[in-house]
Amino acid sequence: MTDELGKIENLRVSSFEPVQTPASLKAKLAISPKAQATVVGSRQAVQAAICGEDPRLVLIVGPCSIHDPVSARDYASRLARVAAAVADRFIVVMRVYFEKPRTTLGWKGLINDPGLDSTFAMDRGFAIARELLIDINAMGLPCATEFLDPVVPQYTADLVSWAAIGARTAESQTHREMASGLSMPVGFKNATDGSVEGAIDAMTAARHAHAFLGVDPTGRTSVVRTTGNPDVHLVLRGGGRCPNYSRAHIAYVKVLLDRFGGRRILVDCSHGNSNKDPDRQPDAFQEALAQHLAGEAAILGMMLESNIEAGRQDVGKGKLVYGKSITDACMSWDATEKLLMDAYGKVR
């Protein structure tokens, strides 16, 4: 009977490789008191901003993806310095993205393939990611990420202050259920075609309690029961070859959000809102800032894709340039710092 079963089960699976459990990784790489204080304080600040109780803008800033922990720490030290200087007017959170959704094929992120070589050493990826998050939070700089695989939050979510559900996954029941149990504020992105209704439906679903299959801290398959996440909001990222951050777009989206019961909107200045041209990110940023300064209460904040060096590069074409993205093209650090400091001078 066993031989017979072997002919009909897992026919297209080449292997199963056990990974360390979330509990075992956290025992090896425990959150430090300083990092924990950063997470707690920043989550509370972002929650207050979503509720309109904190007038500061939320700025999610950093690399499209993390592929080199050394340059990521370098970038974080620079951003931490600026974040401290503007803290009375902005809540600055660093993009620390370890998972990358792919339209077809491509590198899926540091957790999935930390060696950039298709060896998929995920145990090492989890350890690198967790250690980096601990170090960045210890600088006093909170971290943001996109959760793609529903197992990953068990390994890293205690170190994340803001999370995104991406344009390709906002309509996924799995991701809506996952978001309902996450411990931090979550932004849902509009679809790649620019429509926002799916993201609003996702926010409604994530606010409610759910029960679904997942893993517990010991790695055991479990029924996960959640209470719902009240700290959800919309992220406008453009789409369908059109931006969606203009005053007219914001007014339209506010009408759609009325039935949801919340109006806070974060403008992603990259992706469809810049047509993936990093030189156009400041245009979206400045327009969203101008609306905020004109009294538009719906603007929660902005997101920028930024790295040490401008642009992007391909893996496998010679030695990688330090501090340059291997996924979406990013603004340079110099341009980012100038944009943030100029904005700080305009906000009172």
Give 273-303 pLDDT, tens digit per residue: 999 999 999 999 999 999 999 999 999 999 9
Share of the chain above pLDDT 90, in %: 91
Q: Is the pLDDT of residue 8 over 90?
A: no
Note the pLDDT tens digit of each residue in 198-254. Answer: 999 999 999 999 999 999 999 999 999 999 999 999 999 999 889 999 999 999 999
Fold adopted by 37-346: TIM Barrel (3.20.20)
| 3-state secondary structure (DSSP) of residue 242 | strand
CA nearest neighbour of 223 among 214, 231, 232, 236:
214
| 3-state secondary structure (DSSP) of residue 323 | coil
Note the pLDDT tens digit of each residue in 19-77. Answer: 999 999 999 999 999 999 999 999 999 999 999 999 999 999 999 999 999 999 999 99
105-109, 320-324, 337-341: segment of lowest average pLDDT: 105-109
pTM of structure: 0.96
Q: What is the secondary structure of 265-294 as a DSSP string?
A: EEEE-SGGGTTT-GGGHHHHHHHHHHHHHT
Instruction: Report domain extents, the chain.
Output: 37-346
Contact 107, 327 (CB under 8 A): yes
Note the pLDDT tens digit of each residue in 77-107. Answer: 999 999 999 999 999 999 999 998 876 678 9
The Cβ of residue 264 has, within 10 Å, a number of other Cβ atoms equal to: 22
Provide the mean pLDDT of the chain: 95
Per-residue pLDDT at 318 = 87
CA atoms within 13 A on the CB side of 252: 11
Per-residue pLDDT at 215 = 95
C-alpha separations of 50 from 31, 43, 109, 230, 329 in Å: 26, 11, 29, 10, 29
| Alpha carbon 261 to chain centroid, angstroms | 23
